[in-house]
Amino acid sequence: MDATRIIAIRHGETPWNVDGRIQGHTDIPLNATGQAQAVQAAQALAEEPLAAIYSSDLQRAWQTAQALAHTTGAAVHAAPGLRERCFGAFEGRSFAQVEQSHPEDAYRWRKRDPQFVFPGGGESLEQLRERIAATVQQLAQQHVGAQIALVAHGGVMDMLYRLATGQDLQAPRTWALTNTAINRLLWTPQGLTLVGWGDVQHLEGGALEESFS
């Protein structure tokens, strides 16, 4: 079977995760907890054979990917297509602040309106799905028969899960998006399938599950 095994990892914790601030394309680094989480995930995957590591070029993902590269010896390649959803003018704010200043936009966001585009150059859920699906196909088809790692963001992990399970864009999320959780998928030319999700055995404590990371 023409298949590529994928390990998908959300970046470690950041200061804005702790503060509940919307990150999107804003380039926020890991905090000390996030750096430790990245090391823990990397150690858990140290024996995994990886043909390559592809990471969002935002530093919170890139720093997480570098820890994985250190333990596995695989090279890290920047993949801007794995960036978080762009939240436009809302980046840097909390959801409560958005709800107060833009109640109609906050309502459409909360209801997961697939066509809703954030003001100031943001992305809709449909645009995000198209971007992630195209990026994963482009990367995975280069490594048929092998295994790769994708290091990205909460919104990207959410979209990977939906693509692999056929969940609608507006379906309520019932799956975790924990920082540095280890998720496993299989890619074939027919699309993604889910192998395993939300492995956090390597983490000593809890982690945040913000979807706009």
**Chain position carrying tokens 């066509």:** 115
* Helix, strand, or coil (residue 198): strand
Catalytic residue among 11, 25, 143, 153: 11
Q: State the helix-helix crossing angle for 32-44 and 59-72, rounded to 10 degrees.
A: 40
Rg of the chain (C-alpha set): 16
CA dihedral of 173, 158, 90, 80, whole degrees rounded to 10: 180
Angle formed by the axes of helices 154-165 and 125-140, nearest 10°: 80
Instruction: Provide the residue type at 203 as one letter.
Output: L
- Among this protein's residues, is 84 annotated catalytic? yes
Catalytic-labelled residue, pool 84, 123, 209, 210: 84
Q: Annotated active-site positions, please?
A: 11, 84
